[in-house]
């Protein structure tokens, strides 16, 4: 009876020690409430950038191409395009603002014809107002944008692992991913701007003659620009959270009770 009590007490002692070690390990690997709040704030900032990035890449209002209004005609033509498709519209000149010399803006109601670019499937260039796209440049802009979204999703996954599992080493990985995705989006915007300039220069010699065009960048490109900058800012916030606390503690010392 004495030996059975001894073994029972020894088993209870071992279980208690193992439970304390597991609890200490969980406390050591978890985030403090203050640090967790900072990570969540930075993640919220990055989520705003991610939303703008998806909205930008998924819409086709990157640039508007406008023809000049013709005298004696009741309609005029305009177009807007993005990374994936182009939409041409026939607008009533009565709906166009009176002080505007060109057709547009593209948001006005009218007869629209939207088609996806064929260089993603058959490899053909698109023809817009007797002008031909250069598929290599448009493909490069689209691929870079998709890579940016993929890296951004990887960064979100890293930060979620930090918050759920306490794996703080992934903070630096997430910061790099968000910074790289912001840079890729900005590079995609610049490549797309180059594709617009190439499109305007590639005038087809075949009849009918190509109309004069003006272009203006629209809100989808603005969302992409904002997304890239916000993702870079979010990456900077995550990097600051990975730095040791002693430099900031020396700059901002905590106030204590004054000795009397």
**pLDDT of 182 strictly over 70:** yes
Q: What is the band of 212 on the pLDDT scale with cuts at 50, 70, 90?
A: confident
End-to-end, the C-alpha distance of the chain in Å comes to 63
Is the distance from CB of 77 to CB of 186 less than 8 angstroms?
no
- Model's pTM, two decimal places? 0.80
Is the distance from CB of 132 to CB of 125 less than 8 angstroms?
yes
Longest distance between any two alpha carbons in the chain, whole Å:
112
Q: So what CATH class is 33-243?
A: mainly alpha
**pLDDT of 179 strictly over 90:** yes
Q: Is 64 strand, coil or helix?
A: strand
Which single residue is written with the structure tokens 């944008």? 145
Summarize pLDDT for 18-46 with one digit per residue, the tens: 555 454 444 444 678 888 888 999 999 99
**Alpha helices per DSSP H over the chain:** 2-29, 33-58, 135-165, 170-201, 219-242, 246-251
| 256 phi, psi to nearest 5 deg | -120, 180
Summarize pLDDT for 213-245 with one digit per residue, the tens: 889 999 999 999 999 999 999 999 999 988 876
Which single residue is written with the structure tokens 């030996």? 3
Structure tokens at 106: 């593209």
């Amino acid at each position: 009876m004495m030996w059975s009590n001894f073994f029972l007490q020894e088993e209870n002692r071992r279980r208690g020690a193992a439970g304390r070690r597991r609890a200490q390990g969980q406390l050591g690997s978890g985030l403090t409430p203050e640090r967790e709040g900072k990570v969540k704030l930075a993640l919220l900032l990055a989520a705003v950038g991610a939303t703008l990035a998806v909205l930008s890449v998924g819409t086709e209002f990157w640039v508007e191409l406008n023809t000049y209004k013709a005298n004696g005609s009741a309609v005029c033509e305009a177009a807007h395009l993005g990374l994936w498709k182009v939409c041409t519209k026939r607008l009533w000149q009565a709906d166009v603002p009176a002080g505007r010399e060109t057709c547009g803006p593209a948001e006005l109601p009218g007869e629209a014809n939207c088609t996806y670019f064929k260089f993603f499937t058959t490899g053909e260039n698109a023809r817009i107002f007797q002008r031909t796209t250069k598929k290599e440049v448009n493909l490069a802009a689209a691929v870079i944008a998709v890579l940016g979204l993929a890296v951004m999703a990887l960064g979100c996954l890293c930060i979620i692992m930090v918050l759920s599992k306490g794996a703080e080493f992934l903070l630096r990985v997430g910061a790099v991913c968000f910074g790289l995705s912001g840079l890729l989006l900005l590079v995609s915007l610049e490549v797309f701007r180059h594709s617009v300039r190439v499109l305007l220069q590639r005038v087809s010699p075949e009849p009918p003659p190509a109309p004069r065009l003006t272009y203006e960048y629209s809100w989808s490109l603005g969302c992409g620009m904002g997304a890239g900058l916000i993702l870079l800012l979010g990456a900077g916030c995550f990097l600051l959270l990975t730095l040791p606390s002693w430099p900031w503690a020396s700059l901002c010392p905590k106030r204590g009770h004054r000795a009397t």
